[in-house]
Amino acid sequence: MAALALIRTAGLTDADAVSALLRLSYSELLANSYDTGLLRVALPYMNKANLTLLVSGTYYVAETDRGIVVGCGGWTIEKPGSGEIVEGEAHIRHFAIHPEWTRRGIGTSILTRCIDEARSLGVRTLHCFSTLNAEPFYRAANFQTIRRIDVPMGQAIAFPAVLMQCQLA
Ligand X SMILES: CC(C)(COP(=O)(O)OP(=O)(O)OC[C@H]1O[C@@H](n2cnc3c(N)ncnc32)[C@H](O)[C@@H]1OP(=O)(O)O)[C@@H](O)C(=O)NCCC(=O)NCCS
140 part of the interface to ligand X, by CB under 6 A? yes
Q: Which stretch binds ligand X (CB under 6 A): 6-14, 34-42, 75-83, 98-106?
A: 98-106
Yes or no: say if 33 and 133 are a contact pair by the CB < 8 Å rule.
yes
Helix (H) or strand (E) holding 71: strand 69-76
7 part of the interface to ligand X, by CB under 6 A? no
131 part of the interface to ligand X, by CB under 6 A? yes
Count of residues binding ligand X (CB under 6 A)? 21
Q: Which is nearer to ligand X, 50 or 130 (CB)?
A: 130
Least Cα distance to 117 among 65, 168, 79 occurs for 168
Q: 67: Cβ–Cβ under 8 A, 6 or more apart, which residues? A: 5
53 part of the interface to ligand X, by CB under 6 A? no
134 part of the interface to ligand X, by CB under 6 A? yes
104 part of the interface to ligand X, by CB under 6 A? yes
- Which of 4, 15, 24, 29: binder of ligand X (CB under 6 A)? 29
Q: What angle do CA 66, 54, 17 make, to 5 degrees?
A: 35
CA distance to 38, 70, 75, 121, per residue, from 14 (Å): 28, 12, 17, 25
Backbone angles phi, psi at 114, to 5 degrees: -60, -45
Q: Name the minimum Å distance from CB 52 to ligand X.
A: 17
- Which of 59, 60, 95, 143: binder of ligand X (CB under 6 A)? 95
Residue 50 DSSP class = -
Q: Name the minimum Å distance from CB 115 to ligand X.
A: 13
Q: How many other CB atoms sit within 10 Å of the CB of residue 69?
A: 19
Q: Which residues of this chain interact with ligand X, rule CB under 6 A?
A: 25-26, 29-30, 95-97, 102-108, 130-131, 133-134, 136-137, 140
